[in-house]
A and B are shown apart, each in its own frame.
Chain A
Amino acid sequence: MLKDLFIPNAKPRPSVFLTMVAVQILLLLLLWLFYPLQLFPTLGEVITAFKDLVTTQGLIQELWASLTTALGALAIATVLALAISYLTALPFFRPIAYAASKMRYLTLTGLTFFMALMVSSGHQVKLSVLIFGATVYLVTGMTSVILTTTQEEMDHARTLGMSEWRSFYEVVVLGKLDEMLEVVRQNFAIIWTMITLVETLYQSEGGIGLLLYKQNRYLHLAGVVAIQLVILATGALQDYVFEFLRRMFFPYSALTTAK
């Protein structure tokens, strides 16, 4: 049983695997507790900082504010990216998708300045930067998914008498919706990277990014680690929710994955 954990491609029992994960986390915590690094805050300091952040600095409210902004931006970016990616079926729109994909190389600082000139409020600047940033990454991932469409798949739809648009809808839109959700899940992390940066630039809106910035500025390393761990846990929860949605709406999706 235990030896399964060290055999390539072995399939240990779920109970064995979960026990292994719990033991690994416990070991990590014990190491942290009894052998703290000189520069790294101790476990006790991080827990104290976390309590302080929650009770006196509104960590939960700031996290919620950032999360709702991030989800809103992701929803709009997903719709935009899907539209741009699906339009690549028409040659006329391919340069737009290509350009959108390449725009992920633009720097965020330059973008915020440009966005600030275009929209009025700080919230709108934050939202528009996030939407832009997420869209260009999503377009890159989504067009890659579309490009995996094979001649065989399209021919299959055509031999059933489907028109070109109907074939595209059946094979690319419906057939790859599960993969698009996976692209969204993977790129959600980009939004967290961007939101902390944007919140630092536009401080009037608050958010967990601003909280992190303040902890950094005053060298509260325990607070920094506590916030990072909160973001990490939120990200892990997001991944779980996306995975759950994928299994619920696209049950066929997991069937082709190697186990």
Chain B
Amino acid sequence: MADHIYKEPVLTLRDISMQFGGEVILRDISLNVLNVVRPGVNQGQVVGFYGRSGIGKSVLCRIIAGLLPPTTGTVLVADPQRPVCPGDVGFVQQRYPLFNHRTLLDNLLVAAGRKHLPAEAKARAEDFLTRFDLAPHRRKYPTMLSGGQRQRAAIAQQLLCSEHLIILDEPFSGLDIAMIDEVKKIIMEVTTSDELNTVVIVSHDLATTTAISDTLWLLGPERDAAGQCIAGATISKKHQYNLAEMGLAWQHGIQARPEFVQLIEHLKEEIRKT
């Protein structure tokens, strides 16, 4: 019996293109993330999303989150699939924004209150405070929190009101090794708490992100037959990596395996080429 099977799509990008002032930023991006099912495990999806700085990753993230309508194409989410609306997809931006005028508990309550009645919202907010090890800081304002606490709070806030999808923009940036382990733990907890939970990690930290992902996307420009870059970045078929099929997903100590090291070198080379 296969150790995993794929079921319904949880995220679909269909023919996404984006132009700003006539300049093509993204073009022809079509892909989907399927619900992966593993026997005996509540297995969500983790997508590592790479690309050079300024290539359009943030633009694509905003499109996926429903914050920016693409010039052409559609983003579909949920089951049954429907066009994305703001609020469907959680988006934790690089600086972990929170409402600075609200306490930590209020930040979570305002998010939980979007989907639940007050009593249930309170219970969920309290639960998340405990799960994310933030309970002692409930009365603090965001500016009083450390970087790690702020990040956990931002993730918790998005999880409280988004559907099953969440985008993390540079979650490992500027963190020490202990904090990186902590963030990885949170991501694993999120993706194993619900079968449909899906985390897209935008990162430049290839080794850390690839180690916890089951799918990789690499955004970059393609070249034509003459070797010239085609305007607009895309995620071509050859830059969509299914790590589960490659036997490189969901394994402890994966980073020590030679195939993993080779994959990282290959990714670096591909990124350099773009």
Q: In the complex, which of the residues B67, B115, B142 contacts A159, with contact meaning CB atoms closer than 8 Å?
A: B67
**Interface stretch among A41-49, A197-205, A250-258?**
A250-258
Q: Which of A160, A177, A250, A251 has the most C-beta atoms of chain B within 10 angstroms of its own C-beta?
A: A160
Chain A residues engaging chain B, CB cutoff 8 angstroms: 152-153, 155-156, 158-162, 170-171, 174-175, 177-178, 250-252, 255-256
Residues from chain B with Cβ under 8 Å of A178 in the complex: 101
Question: Could you give 22 example pairs across A and B, Cβ below 8 Å?
Answer: A155-B62, A155-B65, A155-B91, A155-B93, A156-B93, A158-B86, A159-B86, A159-B158, A159-B162, A160-B87, A160-B110, A160-B158, A161-B114, A161-B162, A170-B99, A175-B99, A175-B100, A252-B101, A252-B143, A255-B141, A255-B143, A255-B144
- Closest-CB distance, A183 to chain B (whole angstroms): 16
Residues from chain B with Cβ under 8 Å of A251 in the complex: 141
- Closest-CB distance, B149 to chain A (whole angstroms): 14
Q: B90: CB under 8 A from chain A?
A: yes
- Closest-CB distance, A195 to chain B (whole angstroms): 33
- Closest-CB distance, B89 to chain A (whole angstroms): 7
Who on chain A is nearest to B115 by CB?
A161
- Closest-CB distance, A160 to chain B (whole angstroms): 5
What's the Cα separation between A156 and B99 when bound, in Å?
A: 9
Who on chain B is nearest to A164 by CB?
B86
Residues from chain B with Cβ under 8 Å of A255 in the complex: 141, 143-144
Q: B95: CB under 8 A from chain A?
A: yes
Residues from chain B with Cβ under 8 Å of A159 in the complex: 65, 67, 86-87, 89-91, 158, 162
Q: Does more than half of chain A's interface fall in helix, strand or loop, or is it mixed?
A: helix
What's the Cα separation between A174 and B110 when bound, in Å?
A: 13
Q: Are A161 and B86 closer than 8 Å at their CB atoms?
A: yes
Q: Which of B62, B65, B87, B95 has the most C-beta atoms of chain A within 10 angstroms of its own C-beta?
A: B87
Residues from chain A with Cβ under 8 Å of B114 in the complex: 160-162
Who on chain B is nearest to A157 by CB?
B99
- Closest-CB distance, B113 to chain A (whole angstroms): 10
Residues from chain A with Cβ under 8 Å of B115 in the complex: 161
Question: How many residue pairs bridge A and B at CB < 8 Å?
Answer: 64
What's the Cα separation between A159 and B165 when bound, in Å?
A: 11
- Closest-CB distance, A171 to chain B (whole angstroms): 8
A-B pairs, 10 with minimum CB distance:
A161-B87, A156-B97, A252-B141, A158-B86, A255-B143, A159-B91, A161-B114, A160-B111, A175-B101, A160-B161
Q: Does more than half of chain B's interface fall in helix, strand or loop, or is it mixed?
A: loop
Q: In the complex, which of the residues A160, A171, A177, A252 contacts B157, with contact meaning CB atoms closer than 8 Å?
A: A160
Q: Are B141 and A158 closer than 8 Å at their CB atoms?
A: no
- Closest-CB distance, A163 to chain B (whole angstroms): 9
Residues from chain B with Cβ under 8 Å of A153 in the complex: 97
Residues from chain B with Cβ under 8 Å of A156 in the complex: 93, 97-99
Who on chain A is nearest to B92 by CB?
A159
What's the Cα separation between A252 and B157 when bound, in Å?
A: 19
Who on chain A is nearest to B141 by CB?
A252
Who on chain A is nearest to B144 by CB?
A255
Residues from chain B with Cβ under 8 Å of A171 in the complex: 99
What's the Cα separation between A155 and B89 when bound, in Å?
A: 12
Q: Are A152 and B93 closer than 8 Å at their CB atoms?
A: yes
Residues from chain B with Cβ under 8 Å of A256 in the complex: 100, 143
What's the Cα separation between A171 and B97 when bound, in Å?
A: 11
Residues from chain A with Cβ under 8 Å of B87 in the complex: 158-162
Q: Which of A171, A250, A255 has the most C-beta atoms of chain B within 10 angstroms of its own C-beta?
A: A255
Residues from chain A with Cβ under 8 Å of B141 in the complex: 251-252, 255
Residues from chain A with Cβ under 8 Å of B157 in the complex: 160
Who on chain A is nearest to B90 by CB?
A159
Q: Are B101 and A250 closer than 8 Å at their CB atoms?
A: yes
- Closest-CB distance, A75 to chain B (whole angstroms): 23
Who on chain A is nearest to B68 by CB?
A155
What's the Cα separation between A160 and B111 when bound, in Å?
A: 6
Q: Are A158 and B67 closer than 8 Å at their CB atoms?
A: yes
